[in-house]
Structure 1
Amino acid sequence: MLEFKLPDVGEGMHEGEISKWLVKEGDQVKQDQPIVEVQTDKVNAELTSPVSGVIKRLLFAEGETAHVGQTLVVIDDGSAIEVAAATAIADPPQTKVAAPIQKGLFDRALASPYIRKLAREWKIDIEKVLGTGTAGRVTEEDLRAFLAKEQAPKKEQLPKEAMPLAPKAFGIQENAQEERIPLKGVRKKIAEHLVKSVSIIPHVTHVDELEMDALKGLRDKWKAAADERGVKLTFLPFFIKALVVALKEFKTLNASIDDSTQEIVLKNYYHIGIATDTKDGLIVPVIKNADKKTIFQLSQEISEKASRAREGKLSLEEITGGTFTISNVGPIGGLYATPIINHPEVAILGLHKMEPRMVVRDWEGVIRLMMHMSLSFDHRLIDGVTAVRFTNRIKQLLENPDLLMMEMV
C-alpha cells in the first residue's frame, strides 16, 4: 500500500483544493498516470501516480481542501505501506471526470467544511448521517433529514419555544433573499493576497490623462502589417514599451521591499504582469524580459497568454516573477480607479477607457481622444514627486510615439 500525499507544487504553497478526481476507487492505474487536479493559489496542478496499482481509497472529495502533507489517496501497489509525495504537471486537461468515493472504507464521513460546521451547530454526529450526495458525501439535505427524523418523536413533548428550528430554516429556500456561497479556490486566494497587499503596503494613487490621437494613428498604420502576421495589434504593447523605458529611468518603480531583511531590491530585468479577467477571478500572466521583445512579439504573447489564462492552462512559471503589473480595464469602461498593488511589487498602472472629449489646446476647445491612467504606488519607497515624474515620462512617450520608437532597444 502507498499513501499518496499532497506535495508543495511550487512557491511554498500550504494547501490545495481538489478540483477533479481523474480516477475512482477500484481503478487500475499506471505509474505517471494523471489521477487528480488540484487548484492552488497560483495555478491548476495535475498530480500523477508515482506507482502502478489499484486505487483503494480517495480521502478527499471534490471541492474539499487538503493541506500539504495530507494523504490524498491510498494505492495498492502490492507492497507494504509506504508514503509518497505526488508529482505535479502544469497545464491540466479540461475533461471532466466523475469521482465516486465510497463511505465505509475509512472512518471519516465525506463532507465539506461547510457541512461539518452546520452539523456542529445543529448538534448532529455527522458520522451517523447517511450521505446521499455524489460519492456518498453528506449534504445539507441529509442533515435536515437526519434532524427531522431525530426530532420527530419529541415534537409533542417540547414546548413551542423549545422546538428545534425546522430543517428548512437552515438552508436556502425557494425565492430566498440571500444565498451563501463558499469562498474557496482561486477567489479565496485572490482575497487573501489582496488583504495582505493592503495590510502591508501604504497605497497612494496618482491619476493623469493621456491624449491618444497620435498613438492611435501609429497603431492604425501598422495594424494591417500585424494582421498579415496573424497578430492582433492593440495599444497594450505600446504601453509596455513606454513603461519599460520609464522603469529603466525610475528604478525604484521596478523594485520590491524584502521585509525580512529590510532591504530594497532593485531589479534590472523587466517582467511585466498583465492582469487578466477569467471565470475564476483575476489571473496575472507575466511577460518575461519585455524590454527585449518587439511590439509584434509582445502582441502575440499577450494574446496567447490571456487565452490560456482563461482556459486555466498557464504554468506556475508563467504567472510568477513579475516586477510590475498593468491592469487594463479600458475595454470594459470606467473613468479611472485605484488598483491594488500586486505584492511584493511596489506599483501598478491602471489603464482606462478611451473616448473623444472636448479639451482646451492653445486657448481653443478641440476634440481629442483622451484616456485616464492611474498609478498606485508603495509610499514606503516611492514619493509622490517620483510617481508624478514617472507617469509624466510615460505620458510623454505615448503622446509622442516617434520619440517612443527612438527610445526602444
Structure 2
Amino acid sequence: MVEFKLPDVGEGMHEGEIIKILVKPGDAVEQDQPVIEVQTDKVNAELSAPVTGVIKEIRIAEGETVEVGTTLLVIEQSAGSAKEGAAATQEAVRTEEKGEASTPRHVTSRPTRALATPYVRQMAREMKIDIEKVAGTGAAGRVTEEDLRQYAAAASTKPAKRTIVPAANSEAVTAPVEKISVGKHAGESMSRIDRIPMKGIRKKIAEHMTKSVTIIPHVTSVDEMEMDQLRGLREQMLPLAQKRNIKLTFLPFFIKALVIALKEFPVLNASIDDAAQEILLKRFYHIGVATDTPDGLIVPVIKDADRKSIFQLAEEIAQLAELARAGKLTLEQITGGTFTISNVGPIGGLQANPIINHPEVAIIALHKMEKRWVVREDEGVIRWMMNFSLSFDHRLIDGVTAVRFTNRIKELLENPTLLFAEMV
C-alpha cells in the first residue's frame, strides 16, 4: 500500500484546501494521473498519483484544509508497477557497483514520481532535464533547484553511460548516452541568478503583507492638498526647534491632523475581531510610522500621539527612526498601533496603494511635495501641492466615510491654524 501525502506544492507552504477529489475508492489510476485539486495561499495545483494502482481509501473530504504531510489517499500499487520499480532500483544498484554512476545526482530510477514543486518542474522543462532522473536532496527526497543545477553541470562536463547487464559468457558492453542539453539561454540565465534566503525581518514582512491582502478587501482613495500655509508655519517654528536640537519635519503636523480626524471618524481607528465578529473601536491613538531600514520596512509606534506636542512628536519620530535603523526597537515599540502613516514624499512618487497594517483598518501614504500650476478663483497660480492616498478596509469603512475623513485632514493641513484650535 502506498500512502499519498500532501506535498509542498508551493515554496514554504504549510497547508492546503482540498478543492476537488477526482477519484473514488475502487478506481484504477495510472502513475501521474490527476487525482486531487488543492488550493493554497500561493498556488492552485493538480496532484497526480505517485504510482499505478487502485484507490483503496480516501482520507480527506472536499473543502477540508489539511497540513503538508497529511495522508490524502491510500493506493494499492499494481504488481506490474511494483516489479518495474524494483527492477529499476536493482539496475541502478548494479550500475553503481560497476562504478558508472559517478555523480549521485545522475540517473536514479524511482518506483514513484519525483517529488518537486511546480516551479522546479517548470525549471526542469526549461533546462530540458528529465526530472525523473535527478536524485533529490531536499526534504523527503524532494528535487530542488540546486539539484537541477548540479545535474546540468555534471551532464555538460561528463557524458553519462548506461550499463547493459551481459548475458552468460558474454562481455559487458557500455554505450554512451547522449549528453543532456540544458539549453544555452536557460543555462546562462541560471548562472546569473543570486539566491538570497527569505528570512528574518524580510520573511515576517512578507508573511504579514500576504495576510493583510488576503483578509482585507483594500480600497484606495487619492486626493491632493495645498501645502503653502503649512510650509510657512513650519518655517516660523524652525528656529525654535533648532534651539532645542529638534529636527522638525512635516510629519508631526500630519500626525496631529490625523489624530483630530480619527476622533471625529472613530471607525478608522478600529479593528475587526473576525473570530467574535465584533468591531473594536479604540479610544486611544497609537500611530505607526512606516520607517525604511536596511532590513526592510519597520513600523515603530508612537503611543498616545494625541497627548503629545508637535515638538514631542518630532523628537519621538527621530528617536524611533534611529532605533529602527540600528535594529534596537523593543517589542513594545513596534506593537499596539491603531493607524499607520507612511511618508514616502521625501524620496518621490505621485501615488500609491499602501497595504493596510493588519489588524488596523486603514493606512495613509503621503507623496512628494512639488510646485504645480493650479486654478484659484478662476486664475492660474503656482502652489506647493502634495498627493496623499488612503487605503481602507471596505468591510468596515464605506467610500463616503473615507472621503469625508480625508477631506477633514486636508482642511486641517491647508489651514494649519485650525490644528491649534482643535488640539486638547
Matched, 1:357 2:372: yes
Matched, 1:343 2:361: no
Residue number among 229, 232, 247 corresponding to 1:232 in the alignment = 247
1:274–1:327: 8 Å Cα contact kept in structure 2?
yes
**Residue matched to 1:204:** 219
Ranked by relative contact order (alpha carbons within 8 Å, sequence separation 6 or more), the top structure is 1
2:135–2:147: 8 Å Cα contact kept in structure 1?
no
**Residue matched to 2:89:** none
Matched, 1:159 2:177: yes
Go from structure 1 to structure 2 and tell me whether the alpha carbon gap of 1:140 and 1:297 turns closer, same or farther (over 3 Å shift).
farther
What amino acid does structure 2 have at the position aligned with 1:325?
Answer: T
1:124–1:147: 8 Å Cα contact kept in structure 2?
no
Q: Deviations over 1:147-204 (max 9, x none)?
A: 68x97774774420xx4678x999877973x444333332222122112111111111
What amino acid does structure 1 have at the position aligned with 2:346?
Answer: P
Secondary structure of 1:260's partner?
coil
Matched, 1:254 2:289: no
Go from structure 1 to structure 2 and tell me whether the alpha carbon gap of 1:220 and 1:325 turns closer, same or farther (over 3 Å shift).
same
Matches within 5 A, 1:3-402: 123-124=134-135, 154=161, 157-160=175-178, 163=179, 176=192, 178-402=193-417
**Residue matched to 1:47:** none
Structure 2 portions without partners, runs of 5+: 1-13, 15-116, 122-130, 139-145, 163-173
CA distance in 2, matches of 1:342, 1:172: 40
CA distance in 2, matches of 1:367, 1:267: 41
**Residue matched to 1:43:** none
Instruction: Report deviation, 1:315.
Output: 1.2
Q: Deviations over 1:368-388 (max 9, x none)?
A: 100011111111111111111
Secondary structure of 1:372's partner?
strand
Instruction: Report deviation, 1:391.
Output: 0.6
CA distance in 2, matches of 1:183, 1:172: 24
Structure 1 portions without partners, runs of 5+: 1-13, 15-113, 128-138
Instruction: Report deviation, 1:349.
Output: 0.4
Q: Deviations over 1:312-358 (max 9, x none)?
A: 11111111110000011100111111111111100000100000111
Secondary structure of 2:347's partner?
coil
What amino acid does structure 1 have at the position aligned with 2:208?
Answer: H
Secondary structure of 2:283's partner?
coil
What amino acid does structure 2 have at the position aligned with 1:305?
Answer: L
CA distance in 1, matches of 2:200, 2:188: 22
Go from structure 1 to structure 2 and tell me whether the alpha carbon gap of 1:202 and 1:145 turns closer, same or farther (over 3 Å shift).
closer
**RMSD (Å) for aligned C-alpha atoms:** 3.4
Instruction: Report deviation, 1:253.
Output: 0.3
State which structure, 1 or 2, has the greater radius of gyration over its C-alpha atoms.
Answer: 2
1:271–1:322: 8 Å Cα contact kept in structure 2?
yes
CA distance in 2, matches of 1:364, 1:348: 34
Secondary structure of 1:223's partner?
helix
Go from structure 1 to structure 2 and tell me whether the alpha carbon gap of 1:140 and 1:363 turns closer, same or farther (over 3 Å shift).
same
Aligned length: 282
CA distance in 1, matches of 2:391, 2:254: 16
Instruction: Report deviation, 1:215.
Output: 0.5
Go from structure 1 to structure 2 and tell me whether the alpha carbon gap of 1:397 and 1:145 turns closer, same or farther (over 3 Å shift).
closer
What amino acid does structure 2 have at the position aligned with 1:403?
Answer: L
Secondary structure of 1:377's partner?
strand
Secondary structure of 2:346's partner?
coil
CA distance in 1, matches of 2:408, 2:388: 13
CA distance in 2, matches of 1:280, 1:171: 31
Secondary structure of 1:331's partner?
helix
